[in-house]
Amino acid sequence: MIREHYILDDVTLLGLGGSRQVSGLVHAARLEPFVFLHTPALCVIEAERERTGIAVHVGQLGIATVDLGYSAVLTCCQLHQEGLTFGAAAAVEAARRVGEEYEDPFIATVRPGLYEKHFTRVVDLNR
**Tens-place pLDDT, residues 6-30:** 999 999 999 997 889 999 999 999 9
* 43-69 residue pLDDT tens: 999 999 999 999 999 999 999 999 989
* 77-89 residue pLDDT tens: 999 999 999 999 9
**The pLDDT value given to residue 104:** 85
**The pLDDT value given to residue 1:** 65
Strand partners, 66: 40
**The pLDDT value given to residue 34:** 92
Residue 117 pLDDT level (bands cut at 50, 70, 90): confident
In this prediction, residues 101-122 reach a mean pLDDT of: 86
Strand bridging mode 35-40 / 4-8: parallel
**The pLDDT value given to residue 17:** 75
Which segments within the chain are labelled E, that is strand? 4-8, 35-40, 64-66, 106-109, 122-124
Residue partners of 100: CB distance under 8 A and separation at least 6: none
In a 3-state reduction of DSSP, which class is residue 38? strand
Q: Which residue has the higher pLDDT, 2 or 31?
A: 31
In this prediction, residues 115-125 reach a mean pLDDT of: 84
